[in-house]
A and B are shown apart, each in its own frame.
Chain A
Amino acid sequence: MENLATKATDPAVRELLEKARRQGVETVWDRHEAQLPQCGFGELGVCCRNCVQGPCRISPFEDGPQRGICGATADTIVARNLVRAIAAGTAAHSGHARHLAHALHRWAEGRAPDYPVRDEQKLRAVAARLGLQAQEFSVKELASRVAGEALAQFSEGKEVLAWLKSTLSPGRLEALSRLGVLPRGIDTAVSEVMHRTNLGVDADPVNLLLGGISCALADYVGCHLATDLADILFGTPAPVVAEANLGVLKADHVNIALHGHNPLLSDLVVRVAREMQEEARAAGAAGINLVGICCTGNEVLMRHGVSPLTHSVSQELPMLTGALDAVVGDYQCVYPSLAGVAECTGTKLITTMGMTKIPGAAHVEFTEEEAAEKAREIVRLAIEAFTARRGRPVHIPPHKSRVVAGFSGEAMVAVLLRLDAVDPLKPLLDNIAAGNIQGICLFAGCNNVKVSQDENFLVMARELAARDVLCLATGCGAGAYARHGYLTPEATLEYAGPGLKAVFTAIGEANGLGGPLPLVLHLGSCVDNSRAVDLAVAVANKLGVDTAQLPVVASAPEFKTEKAVAIGTWAMALGFPVHLGLVPPVLGSAAVTEVLTAKAREILGGYFMVETDPVKAAEKIYAAIGERRRALGLATRPW
């Protein structure tokens, strides 16, 4: 029997993986195995396919070609490949934001009745931040203006992008402006990277990386837009209790998994499903049970308490329970392999976006104008699938954990207001200064099949929390913590160091929670990394320092996507040390590696550190936090 511990740490995932093995169902782990050995040139980032004189690859040693056919060196090729990945990530996050902006705009025009502003306060707060005279306008008028401003971020303008100007600290804007990397528009930034990485354009690795940083800042704008607009349209998250993991499936219910990233359709599925319980009962089901996969799951968890089912690399497995009636995908991280598994299990795989189709899946094309109707159509397909599977045995792993999620920036301020009604950030700052909280680590990013699923996330949070580091999480990282019970007060009691435990208990009690805050605070989906920036900027502004001075570190312990590359790069540009738990494809260029891990630090304050061992990684993060505490004149503690 092979060792499943090398594949996943989650017992529910292991149980179904074993079942997949028995039934001969191919999974991501089999396909990874089949890909081995992976190409060393690709691993080093020295393969170029940007023109048809190639493909070219550069030898990392001396006995092979040192230049591509056009003359590009390993430095040029590695930098070009990296910044193209950033552009792809930026296109994805900002595409997500653009869809939300259109929905808001169409509602304001009276063309998308299913997308009313559900959080007027957030709308007015965003408008005020943008300098719009919010008070003078009706909700509809203001929605139209904010949506207009949002859409204006995409095209080329003369000014600094409004979402950069209004959300970053002055010192940081100044530093980025000096470096000449402030983007003039999201689409412009993506487009410029594609231009400069063409054959015979930019060959200077440092200049290319600056272009990449500029594009990554456009990605940050895309992420922030997505967070703001989703809050305006669907409500700003507040603490919510749910359960996570495969045990949340219910054999006698119509089980529908919402998968992908954009809440645009999934939020409506949640709303219409409430009205369709009777239809489900008429089909012989006890009701409709909605569950989430990946970041769409995070969005509906944060706003509606929908249970997260599983994440990232384990997304193929829930169908093997035989209890999942439909998987509804929007876009990003939805594996095309799902269609093959769905064929085996009778699950309806439903794609919903015109730009995301999967051979073998049913397609229900989403439109803003008829969103609720499309959502009903999707739920009906799931009810049909339930009728077809009735009476068949199911195998639902009994594992589930309680989850406390929903910590938007606004929610955190609300929680802190109970400690200090005038100055909510003060208790946080006082505790950081006193050392009860040593610093903050934001865990972001995906799972990666090359790491035993969740292992790095869990080990690092335990190591850091035990040393009083406050842990935040987004995306599939937050999902890992959800499934393993780390988003609970019990985890705080078990793993937090004395300082962190005392602070979280005081906050919890002031809020009537009857216990501490959860060990890891779930901030939301991957675009919601913007929420962590808002928190850091608020702290920096209050202290009158730059974000690059804060004892705040970001970590992507199991990253895989181009989107993660973009986020990591902007986190570096905003001045944070960024840990990566896998080696990114840049080692083929010593110059690029040097810029990312060392030179960036001199220019931006932020830098990358790569460490694949989770305990050593935690140690390095703790050291980075200590270094910043010392610079601020705060006491530090050894590891």
Chain B
Amino acid sequence: MRREILIDFARCTGCFSCRLACAVAHSQAKSLFGAVLAGEKPRARIFVHQLGRQKAPISCRHCTDAFCIDACIAGAMYRKEDGTVTNEGGEQQCVGCWMCVMVCPYGAITSDAAGTVALKCDRNCRDESGTPACVRACSTGALVYAEVEEYAAYRRHSTLGKILAGGAGSF
């Protein structure tokens, strides 16, 4: 089974470490100090928002039925063999028409610094273990790289644990 970047929203502290790591992973230098010293300005492809008291990261879901691929009139957006949805390295070039931005329900697609092409999570940041940079940078476990089944089982366990902690009578 394929692993996905899944989010445990309750664990996000809003530290922005995922954004920093994502930007660094997409820099030439591939290191924070290196990128800063070289004056590079790489962009993060994961976002963190605050809604009331809740802090929440969000990034491309690499949807199975991806609206962005359907909407791409240039034919630049495509799905790679490993399931990654990207507009980079395909047969066609992104023309910056922003159709993908308009159809993405998550707002996970933005623009590059020059405003010429669409920018999104491309998973070109994974280490030897295949783990994306944002997940590696998350020190609270809010970002999890796991198979959906595995993650769902973890969610069931933790929720059931909470419910049953007070004794069977409270159910």
Please measure, in the bound complex, the distance between the C-alpha atom of A91 and the C-alpha atom of B126, giving whole angstroms. Answer: 45
The answer to the question of B21 belonging to the interface, with a C-beta cut-off of 8 Å to chain A, is yes
Interface string of A533-571 (1 = CB under 8 A from B): 000000000000000000000000000000000000000
Q: How distant is the Cα of A220 from the Cα of B91 in the complex, in angstroms?
A: 65
Query: CB-CB < 8 A to B146: which residues of A?
Result: none
Nearest CB on A from B121, distance (A): 14
Smallest Cβ distance from A595 to chain B, in angstroms? 16
Does A43 reach chain B (CB closer than 8 Å)?
yes
CB pair A64–B44 under 8 Å, yes or no, is yes
Indicate if the CB atoms of B113 and A587 lie closer than 8 Å: no
Kindly specify which of A55-63, A235-243, A360-368 makes contact with the partner chain: A55-63
Chain A residues with CB under 8 Å of B136's CB are 37
Please give me the residue from chain A that is nearest to B133 by CB atom. Answer: A37
Contact across chains for B23 and A61 when beta carbons are under 8 A apart? yes
Interface string of A28-53 (1 = CB under 8 A from B): 00000001010111011000000000
A152 at the interface (CB under 8 A from B): no
Assuming the contacts A39-B15, A41-B16, A41-B20, asked whether A63 and B36 have C-beta atoms less than 8 A apart, the reply is no
Bound-complex Cα distance A35 to B20 (A): 17
Q: Which residue of A lies closest to B23 (CB)?
A: A61
Give the most central of B21, B23, B24: most A CB within 10 Å.
B23
Task: Report yes or no: A62 in contact with B44, Cβ–Cβ below 8 A.
Answer: no
Which residues does chain A contribute within 8 Å of B41, judged by CB atoms?
61-63
Instruction: Point out the residues of chain A lying under 8 angstroms from B39, CB to CB.
Output: 590
Within 8 A of A (CB), among B1-50: 15-17, 19-21, 23-24, 32-33, 35-37, 39-44
B43 touches A37 (CB 8 A): no
A43 with B32: CB separation less than 8 A = yes
Q: Which chain B residues in 99-135 approach chain A with CB under 8 Å?
A: 113
Report B125-151 CB contacts with A as 1/0, cut-off 8 Å. Answer: 000000000001101000000000000
* B43–A583 touching, CB < 8 Å: no
Q: Does A475 contact B (CB under 8 A)?
A: no
Q: A63 is contacted by which of B17, B43, B139 (Cβ under 8 Å)?
A: B43
Assess whether B20 is in contact with A40, with CB atoms less than 8 Å apart. yes
User: Taking A61-B41, A588-B36 as contacts, is the C-beta distance between A37 and B21 under 8 angstroms?
Assistant: yes
Majority-rule SS of A interface residues: loop
- Which A residues are in CB contact (< 8 Å) with B43? 61-63
Cα distance A39–B15 in the bound complex, in angstroms: 8
Q: A43-B32, A587-B37 are in contact. Are A63 and B16 (CB under 8 A)?
A: no
Determine the residue in chain B with the shortest Cβ distance to A610: B33
| Contact between B16 and A64, CB atoms less than 8 A apart | yes
B32: which of A57, A60, A62, A63 is its contact (CB, 8 Å)? A60
Report the separation of the CA atoms of residues A59 and B36 in the bound assembly, to the nearest whole angstrom: 11
A212–B20 alpha-carbon span in the complex (Å): 29
Q: What residue in chain B is nearest A38 (Cβ atoms)?
A: B139
Partner of B33, one of A57, A64, A583: A583
- The residue on A at minimum CB distance from B48 is A64
Total inter-chain residue pairs, C-beta < 8 Å:
56
Q: Is the interface of B mostly helix, strand, loop or mixed?
A: helix
- B21 and A61 contacting across the interface, CB-CB below 8 Å: no
A575-605 vs B, Cβ < 8 Å mask (1 yes, 0 no): 0000000010001101000000000000000
CA distance A62 to B19 in the complex (A): 12
- Assuming the A-B contacts A39-B15, A40-B20, A40-B21, are A62 and B36 also in contact, with contact meaning beta carbons closer than 8 angstroms in the complex? no
Q: Which of A39, A57, A60, A64 contacts B36 (CB 8 A)?
A: A60
Contact at A40–B44, with CB atoms within 8 Å? no
Which of A37, A57, A59, A590 neighbours the largest number of chain B CB atoms within 10 Å of its CB? A37
A41 to B20, CA, bound (A): 8
Q: Chain A's nearest CB lies how many Å from the CB of B139? A: 7
A579 to B13, CA, bound (A): 36
CB-CB under 8 A from A41, the residues of chain B are 15-17, 20
Q: In the complex, which residue of chain B has the Cβ closest to the Cβ of A589? A: B36
Report chain B residues within 8 Å CB of A64. 16, 19, 44
Residues 184-199 of A at the B interface (beta carbon under 8 Å): none
Contact A40 B113 (CB under 8 A): no
Distance between A64 CB and nearest chain B CB, rounded to angstroms = 7
Q: How far is the CB of B109 from chain A (nearest CB, A)?
A: 14
Say whether B113 contacts A62, CB under 8 Å.
yes
Which B residue's beta carbon lies closest to that of A57?
B16
Name the residue of chain B whose CB is nearest to the CB of A65.
B16
- B128 CB, min distance to chain A CBs, angstroms: 16
A398→B55 CA distance, assembly (Å):
54
B7 to chain A, nearest CB (A): 18
On whether the beta carbons of B37 and A40 are closer than 8 Å, the reply is no
Q: Looking at A39, A40, A64, A590, which has the most chain B CB atoms within 10 Å of its CB?
A: A40
Q: State the Cβ distance, A570 to closest chain B Cβ, in Å.
A: 26
Contact of A37 with B44 at beta-carbon distance under 8 Å, contacts A44-B32, A44-B36, A60-B20 already known? no
CA–CA, A62 and B44, complex, Å: 10
- State the Cβ distance, B133 to closest chain A Cβ, in Å: 10
Could you tell me the distance between the alpha carbons of A63 and B20 in the complex, rounded to whole angstroms?
Answer: 10
Tell me which residues across on chain A come within 8 A of B21, comparing CB atoms: 37, 40
Write the chain A residue with the least CB distance to B19: A64
In the complex, A583→B32 CA distance in Å? 12
Bound CA span A358–B32, Å = 36
A sample of 10 inter-chain contacts (CB < 8 A) reads A35-B139, A37-B139, A39-B15, A40-B17, A41-B15, A41-B17, A44-B36, A59-B16, A63-B23, A587-B36
Interface residues of B (CB under 8 A from A): 15-17, 19-21, 23-24, 32-33, 35-37, 39-44, 113, 136-137, 139
Q: 11 extra interchain contacts, Cβ-Cβ under 8 A, other than A41-B20, A61-B23, A62-B113? A: A37-B17, A37-B136, A39-B139, A41-B15, A41-B17, A59-B16, A59-B20, A63-B19, A63-B23, A583-B33, A587-B37
List the 3 closest pairs (A to B, CB-CB), nearest first: A40-B20, A62-B41, A63-B43
